[in-house]
Amino acid sequence: MELWGGRFREAPNELAARFGASIDVDRRLYRQDIVGSMAHCRMLARQGIIDRSSAVTILDGLTAILAEIERGEFEFRVDREDVHANVEGRLRDIAGDVAGRLHTARSRNDQVALDTRLWSREAILDLVRGLVAFADALLDQAQSNMGVAMPGYTHLQRAQPVLLTHHLLAYVEMVRRDVDRLRDAYRRVDVSPLGAGALAGLPYPIDREAVARDLGFEAISRNSLDAVSDRDYVVEIVAACALGMVHLSRYCEEIILWSSTEFGFISLSDAFSTGSSIMPQKKNPDTAELIRGKAGRAIGSLTGLLVMLKGTPLAYNKDFQEDKSALFDAVDTFGASLAVLAPMTRSATFKRDRLIAAASENFSLATDYADFLAQRGVPFRRAHEVIGRLVARCLEQGCTLDSLSLDELRAFAPEFTSDALNIQIWSAIDARDVPGGTATGRVSAALIEARDAIRDVSVWIDEMAGRLPAAEGRLASDI
């Protein structure tokens, strides 16, 4: 409390001070805090709010502090409460009283909002990189398994045959929506709050636009009260992480099922599996199971964040200190899951013969028999009933639809012709020749389109990354 304790007549209670300290969480904002302070300092000097000599001293001190931290030599002190006070306190150790000029025309309220936004921009780009890597792994598997059929499911019951590539592309669609959500969140993150002060703006001739440009922001906040109290962007990022983790969990659930003996559709690499402490034959999909479990953690971060925010009046409240633990944990969880899931997917082996055989089992072509009748004038509901009775007959006799003769089919519906004997998984797949369908031509085109879309995302990442500020090489010469 040494930096802003002049109003108080007694030292803070030790338990209260430790309870209120956030340094164990927000210390990871050190680089953003220093970069933001450098930009603020340069603006103060350019505007004549502080003299150039003081600015140079401050900038040199901030550069030294950054080097100390990155060498692991910096002592983060609990008595200095948070990352902002730790950096400023160390700056005062180095530069003396001139360090106090840095906080001119700035509050911790707009400072922490700035730091969190700077960190969030980088975090979003890292997450989108992870999503691109996962999408690339899915697309490579989809490409190499283009000729493989598999059973599609509803209610976890075999329903109709589809291409394995089509199934994998469904997860690519989820990834693309996850990317869209993060890119959309980035647009709202990309706003500089610096200059809002504590809540009302500042009585100095500051240049907010110049600081925003210096830090690579697209815009500045429009309302000072909102600037320091807005945590919508944190909610959006955490929500995107939570939903993204739900998508990864759904994918991992299928991998877990498919790698079981009962399904036998996929074999995971040993490198992404574990054994049993007692059963030597076991090969467990623990990586996939852990990702499935961690989805609950991300959902919990979102729930906690929303509950924390719901009762807070304008403007800043100490409650907001809790936003960073939710943000960091959700981003870390999603990022780590993506990092391991991409190579796990890429190294997996799909059991093609088993998938193709399963595609035609359990009467998966029943709908195609019903469609055959409907295309010949039978009302679909009656065709549905006819095939239902045919399936019941097959179950009683232990046979399959494709084993029935034309006479046996015509005994249930005279509209059957000899063409019905040609119904099989590949004709069923390629009959779904509509946009978004599983027909081979449609899926081939969808694969190409998805690859192009993912490449476009990589271009966006590079563009946004090029706007991010650096601490090095932008000191006194930029004043």
* CA pair distance 183, 318, nearest whole angstrom: 29
Query: What fold characterizes domain 366-423?
Result: Ribonucleotide Reductase Protein R1; domain 1 (1.10.40)
Active site residues: 155, 276
- Give the tens place of pLDDT for each residue, 330-387: 999 999 999 999 999 999 999 999 999 999 999 999 999 999 999 999 999 999 999 9
CB 62 within 8 A of CB 88: no
The pLDDT score that the predictor gives to residue 3 is 47
pLDDT, residue 476, reads 54
pLDDT at site 14:
85
Encoded amino acid at 107, one letter: S
Domain parsing of the chain, residue ranges: 14-104, 109-353+448-465, 366-423
* Rounded Cα–Cα distance for residues 145 and 162 (Å): 12
pLDDT in tens, 6-33: 777 788 888 888 898 999 999 999 999 9
Q: Which of 1-15, 106-120, 129-143, 274-288 has the lowest mean pLDDT?
A: 1-15
| DSSP H or E stretch at residue 252 | helix 232-258
CB count, 10 Å around CB of 4? Answer: 12
* Contact (Cβ atoms closer than 8 angstroms) between residue 241 and residue 337: no
**Cα-trace Rg, the chain:** 30
Element (H, E) at 191: strand 191-192
Question: Is residue 35 within 8 Å of 215, Cβ to Cβ?
Answer: yes
CATH superfamily of 14-104: Fumarase/aspartase (N-terminal domain) (1.10.275.10)
**Range 198-214 average pLDDT:** 97
| pLDDT at 186 > cutoff 80 | yes
d(CA 412, CA 389): 8
Domain with residues 109-353+448-465, CATH architecture: Up-down Bundle (1.20)
Are 109-353+448-465 and 366-423 the same fold in CATH? no
